[in-house]
Structure 1
Amino acid sequence: MALEAVMDKFYIEQLTIIGVGLIGGSIAARLKREGAVGKVVGVGRGRKNITFAHEHGLIDEVAMDVQKGIERATIVVVAVPVKQVETVLQEIKLSPNSELILTDVGSTKGDFKRIIERVMPERAGFIVPGHPIAGSEKVGPQFADANLFQGKNVVLCPLERSKATSINLVQRLWESCGSFVSKMSDDKHDKIFSAVSHLPHIVSYALVEMVNRRDDAEDLFDFAAGGFRDFSRIAGSSPEMWVDICRANHFPILDDVESFISSLEKIRELLRSEDYEGLRKIFDAAAIARNNWSSKQ
């Protein structure tokens, strides 16, 4: 494997990114800036994104074919939409490059683990699922940012058979991007991010949809200001991607939707009974929790 340690500095000869969008492009930009990679190969079937990434120096080489792109790779980062992951892994499975290390950037990990078990269990030792907690509602390599992961969390969910050397290499990749790396089970990961990422997107979509279907929607949007803008920002994210996430993390999200509905029902009953003291207690508890969290960011 083409891996070197120069004064303990992370360095790999070739990184292959399958799906050079915001996340993949930002990984490439940071590692190239750090001098942590010899060559970055971008794999993609969408000519527009891959061409942009090449022309703007995010990647050094374009491969329209997965096999071609990974034949000399040290690490392969799968950064494609959820519904494309299994097809990509089927192609990676055929590679004679048996020691390439594989990771991903998806926000659901249980489904990724199940696909690995179904498609390529024999390579499990070289696979380390990952999730960078960074991003934007914007997509595409034109928004790539070498500082996107600086000071941000990255969660690794190693498989039972992931080798220590594989885990270490993927961890060092993310640390080279400026990230703080933690490890947890895929089950714990999916429950956490259902509550603090997936549910908020669903609620944001639901709010905008509710406003948009009202008869006075035009007036509502005309007078909406900062609060609505902040709350609804993530409703500008890719609907296709978020439907795929809902499918992949179905049960944890369903549990959290039910819990959220219960909270709304409690507020509804307090409003109906004009129990404003009860309402204040809920708002106080939420404000304290939110401010405590914010102070640690």
Structure 2
Amino acid sequence: MGRLSIIGVGLIGGSLAKALKKADFVGEVIGFGRSEANLRLALDQGVVDRWTLDLNEAVAGADVIMLATPVAAADQLLPRISASLRDNTIVTDAGSVKGSVIDAAVSAFGGRISHFVPGHPIAGGENSGVGASCVDLFHRQKVILTPLPSTGTWALECVREMWETTGASVSEMDPDSHDRLLALTSHLPHALAFCLVNMLADQSNADECYELAASGFYDITRIASSDPVMWRDIFLGNQDAVLSRLAEYRESIGNLIRLIESGDADGLLAEFRKSNISRSLIQSRRST
């Protein structure tokens, strides 16, 4: 790959640049974003070769453009990217929601939608910004590509090779299935973490609660430190699937409440054993 333009040089965009540079997969990395301080840091750390606050300049002459911004930004950025798109330029993204980003891409690119490869690396953390980026963030992690019927084979294979170069395992999935699945495995856990932290913070004795919080509280709520803007956009961009999963969780909580209220020891034990066994199976699959 000759030139990679990264729109949003944060945790994901910065980590991608580091991995591709280490592998000598890319000749030049151009960074674009809103924060000059963040872009200067990216240059100082060698994440990008140069940076700009001008989007047209950022994408000019790019072989691949990576959109690594909060998902809601796609509506504003993709039409501007399309206006500067070369005939052989590939555009891809790293958003946690695919449906809304694909809608924005179809609207922006029109007959050139074959250039667009929707994607989502299942990797990250609670910290954000290029300072949190890591060269091996994607190593042995999953990346899901959600190509459209109109996505060009040439574009898809280029993006697949790019991610595989980072050490990621790449698979494909249809966009709707992706959004429903991620609403359960990623978006719902973040919602629960946000609610639990806010519940504690709203207590009249919050300081005492903080002092007595056990390790389990910190394990469960670590992801509540994630970027609020990013997660606002994810919840609104995947609204239907998130609401559906929250409704399922409400039913599960309702069942737990009924078991506790009725003093059903056997029922509680069965629920906890089921969870214990399922968690062990999940962990064993993740370790292989």
Do they fold alike, i.e. is TM over 0.5?
yes
Q: What is the rounded CA distance, in whole Å, between the counterparts of 1:127 and 1:119 in structure 2? A: 10
Percent identity reads 35
Per-residue CA deviation, residues 97-147 of structure 1 (Å, 9 max, x unaligned), is 122100000000001111112222222111100000000110000111110
Q: What is the rounded CA distance, in whole Å, between the counterparts of 2:231 and 2:85 in structure 1? A: 34
Equivalent residue for 1:141, pick from 130, 142, 160: 130
Alignment of 1:79-118 (within 5 A): 79-118=68-107
Q: What is the rounded CA distance, in whole Å, between the counterparts of 2:85 and 2:92 in structure 1? A: 18
Per-residue CA deviation, residues 224-262 of structure 1 (Å, 9 max, x unaligned), is 121011001011112221111110000010000000000
Alignment of 1:174-213 (within 5 A): 174-213=163-202
Deviation of residue 96 (structure 1)? Answer: 4.7
TM-score by length of 1: 0.94
Query: How many residue pairs are counted as aligned between the two chains?
Result: 286
The code of the aligned residue for 1:132 comes to: P
- Correspondence 1:152 to 2:141: yes
Q: Is the 8 A contact 1:53 1:141 kept in 2?
A: yes
Alignment of 1:234-273 (within 5 A): 234-273=223-262
Alignment of 1:12-161 (within 5 A): 12-161=1-150
Q: What is the rounded CA distance, in whole Å, between the counterparts of 1:75 and 1:229 in structure 2? A: 39
Runs (4+) of structure 1 moved beyond 4 Å? none
Q: What is the rounded CA distance, in whole Å, between the counterparts of 1:96 and 1:131 in structure 2? A: 22
SS of equivalent to 2:27 = strand
The code of the aligned residue for 1:244 comes to: D
SS of equivalent to 1:40 = strand
Which segment is superposed worse, 210-219 or 171-180?
210-219
Structure 2's unaligned 5+ residue stretches are none
Distance 1:96 1:216, change over 3 A: closer
TM-score by length of 2: 0.97
Which segment is superposed worse, 117-126 or 221-230?
117-126
Q: Is the 8 A contact 1:70 1:97 kept in 2?
A: no
Deviation of residue 55 (structure 1)? Answer: 1.2
Q: What is the rounded CA distance, in whole Å, between the counterparts of 1:120 and 1:164 in structure 2? A: 17
Deviation of residue 65 (structure 1)? Answer: 1.2
Structure 1's unaligned 5+ residue stretches are 1-11
Q: What is the rounded CA distance, in whole Å, between the counterparts of 1:229 and 1:45 in structure 2? A: 32
- The residue number in structure 2 matching 1:169 is 158
Q: What is the rounded CA distance, in whole Å, between the counterparts of 2:184 and 2:96 in structure 1? A: 12
The code of the aligned residue for 1:257 comes to: L
- The residue number in structure 2 matching 1:296 is 285
- Correspondence 1:223 to 2:212: yes
Q: What is the rounded CA distance, in whole Å, between the counterparts of 1:55 and 1:63 in structure 2? A: 14
